[in-house]
Structure 1
Amino acid sequence: MAEFKLAAESRSEFGKGASRRLRRAGKVPAVIYGHGTDPVHISLPGHESLLALRTANALLDISIDGGKHQLALPKQVQRDPIRGFLEHVDLVIVKRGEKVTVDVAVVTHGEAAPETLVVVDLTSLAVEAEATHIPTELTVDIEGLAAGTQILVRDLKLPSGVTTHVDPEALVVNVTQQVSQEALDAELAESEEATGAATTEADSEAESTEGEAGEDA
């Protein structure tokens, strides 16, 4: 996996006002911690960080104030919900050769058999991998799969050195028979007919109750 080099600066001002000033200057407030070190508050270059963090589990090579480089993974990324710019980033320090647990996206490749519906029940999988060899995604080949086919965690082909502790019987992909429009229309008509019959029966019972009440009066 690629490493993204980012030159960070230490910061001593905190709070919403300080963070807004940083973002106006094209920088991103962040904190880096891990491996027994105290958290260090830093600012990252905005544009370069935005590009790097488009990659899931991006491995960042951080240098602070021109000092020594250290590797880090994004732990939490806060983005503006409307404009998408980075608001704050939490980074955790990692070492080469160290194994980490991260969530990796599950994506399908190919086309299942005609008239089938493919449902991805598990969109990401927690895996354990070396910090410098985290897969960008886990690909599931669904080419030509027939209705009724199910792919479980134990069926996944994980890259070398990558493991998971997720239940091996957990459902990842489910291929079902696609329901035709005619079948949907028939089901809808049947439902409407049943609803109409129930309404008619309820109306009849109400009229009967009203009649009995009139006789009693």
Structure 2
Amino acid sequence: MSEVKLDAVIRTTFGKGSARQTRRDNRVPAVIYGHGAEPVHVSLPGHDLMMALKTANVLISLDIEGRNELVIPKAIQRHPLKRTLTHVDLLAVKRGEKVSVEIAVNAEGDLAPGGNLLEHVLSTITVEAEATHIPEAVTVSVAGLDAGASVLAKDIVLPAGTTLVTDADAVVLQVLAAQAEESAAEGDAAAEA
């Protein structure tokens, strides 16, 4: 997992007007919380933060006026139309500390012949991992699975040092039988009747 370095500036003014001014200056208001400490309100460079957040569960090293702080994003708010960042909640972490995060589940391989469909019941699973070694995603092989087969959370092989938090019996992927299409002649006959 890569670590992104950003410069943070402590915010001393609060409220809607202050947040709007921060955004006009191409910065994003953010709050850092965790470890039982008082929340710290900061502003971060908008473009650099947007690029960093393209990686899921990115580890960010903040330089807060000479003091370094490791954080991971917990909640990201975006403008509903422009999709620009409006606010970010960051969780302070320490090296070696375990954190609970959601990671993406990717499927690979071809299903058994027959036109069956693969349904992603859960697109992410919650795992606990060391803050500096959070996996970006897990890959599950669905090669040869036939209709009715499913992959449970406990069946997913996780990277070393990562433990499953999601219910072990939760269905993550399942294979659905293909629906037979009604022929045009049968459809016409049913319409006449």
Give yes or no for TM over 0.5.
Answer: yes
CA distance in 1, matches of 2:7, 2:79: 23
Residue identity matched to 1:96: R
Report the counterpart of residue 139 of structure 2 in structure 1. 139
Matches of 1:70 and 1:16, distance apart in 2: 26
Judged with a 3 Å threshold, the aligned counterparts in structure 2 of structure 1 residues 152 and 9 are, in CA distance, closer, same or farther, namely same
What is the CA–CA distance in structure 1 between the aligned matches of 2:176 and 2:30, rounded to whole Å?
A: 45
Q: 1:144 offset after TM fit, Å?
A: 2.8
Report the residue type matching 2:76 in the other structure: V
- Cα 1:186–1:141 shift into 2, 3 Å: farther
Distance 1:60 1:185 in 2: 62
Query: How much identity, in percent, do the aligned residues show?
Result: 48
Q: Helix, strand or coil: the match of 2:106?
A: strand
Could you tell me which amino acid in structure 2 is paired with residue 171 of structure 1? V
Q: Distance in 2 between matches of 1:3 and 1:124?
A: 22
Deviation of the 1:69 alpha carbon: 1.1
The 5-angstrom pairing of residues 2-81 of structure 1 reads 2-65=2-65, 67-81=66-80
- Which gives a bigger RCO, structure 1 or 2 (Cα 8 Å, sep 6+)? 2
* Unpaired stretches in structure 2, ≥5 consecutive residues: none
Structure with greater helix share of residues? 1
What number of residue pairs does the alignment pair up? 192
**In structure 2, how many angstroms separate the alpha carbons of the residues matched to 1:95 and 1:180?**
55
How big is the alpha-carbon RMSD for the aligned residues of Structure 1 and Structure 2? 2.2
Matched residues in 1 for 2:79 and 2:29: separation? 13
The higher radius of gyration belongs to 1
| Structure 1 residue 187 displacement after superposition | 8.7
Alpha-carbon spacing, 1:8–1:185, altered in 2? closer, same or farther (3 Å): farther
Cα distance change on mapping 1:157 and 1:22 into 2, 3 Å: same
Please give the per-residue CA displacement for 1:173-200, whole angstroms capped at 9, x wherever unaligned. Answer: 111221132379969986x79xx8xxxx
